[in-house]
Amino acid sequence: MPSLTGPRPVDWKAAAPPIPNFAPQHDSLPRLPVPNLTATLERLKTSLFPLAHSEAEFADAAKKIDAFGSHAGSGNLLQSRLLQRANEREHWLEEWWDNLGYLGYRDSVVVNVSYYYGFDGQPGHLPQSPAARAAGLARGALVFRQKLLSGQVSPDGTKEGQFCMDTYRWMFNCCRVPGLHGLDWSISHAGFKEDLGHIIIVRRNRFWKLKGIIDGRILSMTELEKQIQHIYDSTTEEYPGVGVLTASNRDVWAKDHAHLAANLHNTSILHTIHSSAFLISLDTDTPSSPIDHSRSLWHGSLSPSTSDAPGLKNRWVDKPVEFVVFDNARAGLLGEHSVMDGTPTARMCDEVLDWLADPAFDLGTPSTIPPPEPEPLDFVIDDTTRTAIDKASKAAYELADSQSMSYHLTSYGKAAIKTFRVSPDSWAQMIIQLAYARLLRAHGLNREGGTYEAATTRRYWKGRTETIRVVTSQSDAFISAMDDPQVSCEDRKQLLDAAAKAHIALAKVAGTGEGVDRHMLGLKLCLKEGEPVPELYNDPLYKRSGNWVLSTSAIFSDHFPVYGWGEVVPEGFGVAYMTGYDDRLQYTVTSRKEMPNQEFMDEIARAAVDLYDLHAGQPKPML
């Protein structure tokens, strides 16, 4: 049994066995390259120019870039060390990114790290109860897991080739574990010879073990529904909210976790949770609006009268796949982000929801032998843990209550944008840029950070993401022109085209691993103890360029009417958007309450109309 309290195993990532049909990718996919130093520094310099507050500030930063890259500078020495590291490892960035990007992050994963997908409604041909909703998701996810483990899931990719599927091994039967020494890790049970056909169901804070696979057979939807309904019927009172401990600051959770695990009975329950295929939270919420649906998934229900976070007591946010089903049968997923990005779970959810929408999908045939009833898993709770639960719930309430959210659907989508011969993603990004510029202008503020857009680097073995630095001189020229009455519509369109082309070029470069941010991080991490940090890294313009006041990303599923995540800096916004619908663009904006969240979304709505009108030649009503 893997250790629950550490120390963290050196080879913890080897615990999750490879998926059989993806194992050959180890040899067939190229390794993430170390970009050319001169090229990276030129890209950096270009990206800094529009973010500079003055010519002098840019000139000063440019001088530091040139010094860093000169023969006498430290850049070449650090580059040689990075190249040596790349020659000695399968992936020069993986360990650094795991630790610095996620596992060493000590604030709560709720709001700050985890993402959510809200699902469309239960298909009409299926029973409409919450138990049936949960049963359908359980059956579908277990079928996907079975296909994945038996090599029947095809690799993701584009026409240019396959994407790395390595992180799919962290989807099922695993869990993040809080580390006592400042670094978490993930435990996988997929390589152990034990019965792993169980899932965890949580209702009113009580955990249940449900055997979803018996003697190799996935239970039918009817059997699963009866099992889950038994849990609903048997759980009529609230249990101690142990799950909220997982939403704490990671160092706090590590101490609470160690105390919990000191009891052998509790250790057995933790082992059962960690090894479960996935978890389903049966929440008592009944969200209706898109924002209610989003917030109930993102951080669960809140109780302002008691400054309490009851929704998070019914979760275990360290699980990479946690379905949430509400009492009105609405549903979604909350994803833990550390060792697997959102695209694998998006694909899994999309396929499961496609299957359930198809009346021909095999819902299974009940066995003549009834399956065993679900087993309740009741933690031993002492005064120390009760106090920890109370503190964790108060802290979770304060965190979730600090957040603001807005949501908008435009009255047109990719079908119209394509007729204008503009990339839908670039179009959506220029809407964000124009809206943010207008927001800053309205408040008399300078731009104090850059815009992050995630690009996948999964064309490489163990590739994850690179940054698209969205702010460019071309995007700024377009933004300026949109509110300059002296600029003609035709000139504005040409400037948008130029901005879109620049954005597409940056996206392509980032996707090949030739971005700025991961390379600059790698160079800095090659410094040895006692060596001075190069002047460039402390330059105010350079630091501003990596202050992600706009953290943006897009995924698509026509089953996700809502999805999102939190902002990454206190003065910033998280902007989740979708461009895949023919008839609408979808935007969700998150921020701290003190930020003008709704005002920013109003500007996004206005900018979306302005871009349409610019191309359509006549006003289109804003719906």
Q: d(Cα 80, Cα 35) in Å, to the nearest integer? A: 12
Would you say 336 and 176 are in contact if contact means Cβ atoms under 8 Å apart?
A: yes
Average pLDDT of the chain is 96
> What HEC string does 578-596 produce?
ECCCCCCCEEEEEEECCCC
Whether residue 122 has pLDDT greater than 60: yes
pLDDT on residue 556? 96
Greatest alpha-carbon pair distance for the chain in Å reads 80
**In the 8-state DSSP scheme, what is residue 303?**
B
Give the confidence band of 245 by pLDDT, cuts at 50, 70, 90.
Answer: very high
- Tokens standing for residue 199: 């899932």
> Both tokens of residue 561?
């009417």
Please report which helix (H) or strand (E) contains residue 47, including its range.
Answer: helix 37-48
Beta bridge partners of 450: 548
DSSP 167: G
CB 331 within 8 A of CB 137: yes
Going 4 to 12 to 553 to 596, the CA torsion angle's sign is positive
Q: How far apart are CA 377 and CA 70, in angstroms?
A: 62
In angstroms, the CA 383 to CA 309 distance is 20
Rg (CA), the chain: 25
**Average pLDDT rounded to a whole number, residues 186-200:** 85
Whole-number Å distance between alpha carbons of 181 and 104: 9
What are the φ and ψ backbone dihedral angles of 174, each rounded to 5 degrees? -145, 175
Q: Express each pLDDT in 19-78 by its tens digit.
A: 999 999 999 999 999 999 999 999 999 999 999 999 999 999 999 999 999 999 999 999
pLDDT at 3: 76
When pLDDT is averaged across residues 142-154 and rounded to a whole number, the result is 96
Query: Dihedral of CA 148/154/158/162: which sign?
Result: positive
- What is the reported pLDDT for 362? 98
> How much is the pLDDT for 195?
67
Structure token pair of residue 272:
């059962």
Give kind and range of the element (H or E) at residue 87: helix 75-88
Helix (H, G, I), strand (E, B) or coil at 468: strand
pLDDT score for 4:
86
DSSP state of 570: T
At 454, the amino acid letter reads A
* Predicted local distance difference test score (pLDDT) of residue 193: 64
pLDDT of 318 higher than 90: yes
Question: Residue 546 in contact with residue 61, Cβ under 8 Å?
Answer: no
Q: Of 234, 239, 210, nearest to 135 (Cα)?
A: 210
Could you tell me which of 440, 427, 424, 403 has the C-alpha nearest to residue 600?
Answer: 440
* pLDDT computed for residue 6 by the predictor: 84
Per residue in 421-447, pLDDT (tens digit) is: 999 999 999 999 999 999 999 999 999
Give pLDDT tens digits for 3-33: 788 899 999 999 899 999 999 999 999 999 9
Tell me what pLDDT residue 623 has: 40
Phi, psi (5° rounding) for residue 289?
-75, 160
Q: What is the mean pLDDT of residues 124-144?
A: 98
Q: How far apart are the first and last CA of the chain?
A: 56
Rounded-to-integer distance, Cα 427 and Cα 433, Å: 10
The 10s digit of each residue's pLDDT in 278-314 is 999 999 999 999 999 999 999 999 999 999 999 999 9
Q: Which of 567, 607, 568 is nearest to 588 (CA)?
A: 567
pLDDT > 90? residue 196: no
Of 208, 239, 235, which Cα lies nearest the Cα of 224?
A: 208
Can you tell me the distance from the alpha carbon of 238 to that of 389, in angstroms, rounded to the nearest whole number? 14
Contact 401, 302 (CB under 8 A): yes
**What's the pLDDT band for 621 if we cut at 50, 70, 90?**
very low
Give 3-state DSSP helix, strand, coil % of the chain, rounded to 5.
Answer: 45, 15, 40
User: Is residue 490 scored above 80 in pLDDT?
Assistant: yes
pTM of the model: 0.96
Q: How does pLDDT run across 455-472, given as a tens digit for each residue?
A: 999 999 999 999 999 999
Contact 407, 290 (CB under 8 A): yes
Q: Distances in Å between the alpha carbon of 211 and those of 150, 437, 557?
A: 20, 53, 30
Tens-place pLDDT, residues 399-414: 999 999 999 999 999 9
- At 620 the pLDDT is 43
Mean pLDDT value across residues 573-577 = 98
- Are 507 and 579 in contact by the 8 Å Cβ rule? The answer is no
Confidence of residue 96 (pLDDT cuts 50, 70, 90): very high
